[in-house]
Amino acid sequence: AYECIKHYASPSLKETYLSKVGTGEWLATMCLTEPHAGSDLGLSRTKATPQADGRYTLNGTKIFISGGEHDLTDNIVHLVLARLPDAPPGPKGLSLFLFPKFYPNGERSAVHCDRIEEKMGLHGSPTCVMRFDEAVSSIVGEPGKGLSAMFMMMNAARLHVALQGIGLLDAAWQKADAYAQERRQMRAPGKGKSAAEADFIAEHPAMRRILDTQRAWVDAGRVLAYRTALELDLIKHSPDADTQAAAQRWCALVTPVMKSVFTHQAFHGGSDCLQVFGGHGYVREWGIEQIVRDARVAMIYEGTNEIQAIDLLVRKIMTDGGQSLNQLLDDMKVETQIETAEATQLRKLTQNIWTATQLDPSVGHRVADDYLRAMALVLLQWAWQRIDANLDQDSPELKDRWHSPSKAFRQWVLPEFAMRRHIIEAQCAAT
């Protein structure tokens, strides 16, 4: 919200709201979705009517508004997509508006929380149905360009959600790992008899597979997240145009992958971690079930994972015939000095999809999910190449820490690539 106001709002709006939002003294909302328009923002009907003083009145209803109403801060700054009377249909007709819960003179605006939505998880966040009833607002940016201004928030949010997925998965792993180190059940295969009547479940191969696999996702995810943060800094601060272009390419292609795969893994990997607890994981005392519930929505919000896949393949990679993907893989190869078989196969898959879409434009949409997963595995593989290359200088203890998840990645995670490749090739051949 701070970045959106900073880049698009008028000087007077910046003076009033920027510092308060920047410090967190006032929290902000993103009001996009409406009851009849989920991900299809072009269907939005909220109306903005011009007033004689240059401001606008808003009328309409938004849903799924995180932090739409609360008493955590003295004020709430609402950023709302709405349509001017003469606006064309679709997303190009949307403009962005700002108004607070309380105006500077202390008057409360005409925005009402009609309902707190009862969610599956994230119960610490009040998610609201918000109704605007002649709410007086100010436009942010130019008319008809509200969606581009809002996407400054959306793109940042997608990276944040990817980090949320990594964090939730790590939290689930930490709980499961701690439990596995103290819970005894049965005899582990290959273990000799001991004084204890049973072995720790961390010593059982089935549990080790779960724990090491989730650790492999978390560790590689952090490498990719930190790299993306560095690329964002290069976009903003590098004086070199080629460096900026490479950084922009990384962020454009990797962001949808990060958002999709790590929110997916937070839920499914978190569920695997719950399995470590057995029946105890399904009751609330241990806390693991909350992580599974909380993680589920991250696959939906800030652009569903299916939309992320379509954005990656159809809207980005296919528009230039795969050139941007090949350049990204070239950049990655420079750092590791080797291109894996999977990376080479990803190049070929991209070309196959491009060829197939010339005959059937729907192919890209059909294989988008599989393609995103395949690309994610190549990125994870690259991250583990970076980790493994730096283990030579570490102590034996640190090598032990990293060896198991590295092995788990190769044995239990990377083989998925072959399955995704087979699915994509079959779809391309069917055109």
Supply the residues annotated as catalytic: 302
The backbone torsions φ and ψ at residue 54, rounded to the nearest 5 degrees and listed phi first, read 90, -5
Neighbours of 278 (CB within 10 A): 12
Comparing C-alpha atoms, which of 291, 214, 228 is closest to residue 259? 228
Q: What share of the chain is helix, strand, coil (3-state, %, to 5)?
A: 60, 15, 25
Q: Which amino acid is located at 32 in the chain? A: L
Secondary structure (DSSP) of 395-420:
-HHHHHHHHHHHHHIIIIITTHHHHH
Secondary structure (DSSP) of 17-61:
IIHHHHHTSSEEEEE--BTTBSS-GGG---EEEE-TTS-EEEEEE
C-beta separation of 173 from 273 below 8 A: yes
Give the burial class of 11: count Cβ atoms within 10 A of its Cβ; 0-12 exposed, 13-18 middle, 19 or more buried: exposed
Eight-class DSSP state of 128? E
Angle of helix 363-389 relative to helix 341-359, nearest 10 degrees, comes to: 170
Q: Residue 422 forms beta bridges with which residues?
A: none
Report d(CA 115, CA 431) in Å as an integer: 48
Comparing C-alpha atoms, which of 136, 134, 147 is closest to residue 30? 147
Residues 6+ apart with CB under 8 A from 389: 336
Q: Which amino acid is located at 273 in the chain? A: C
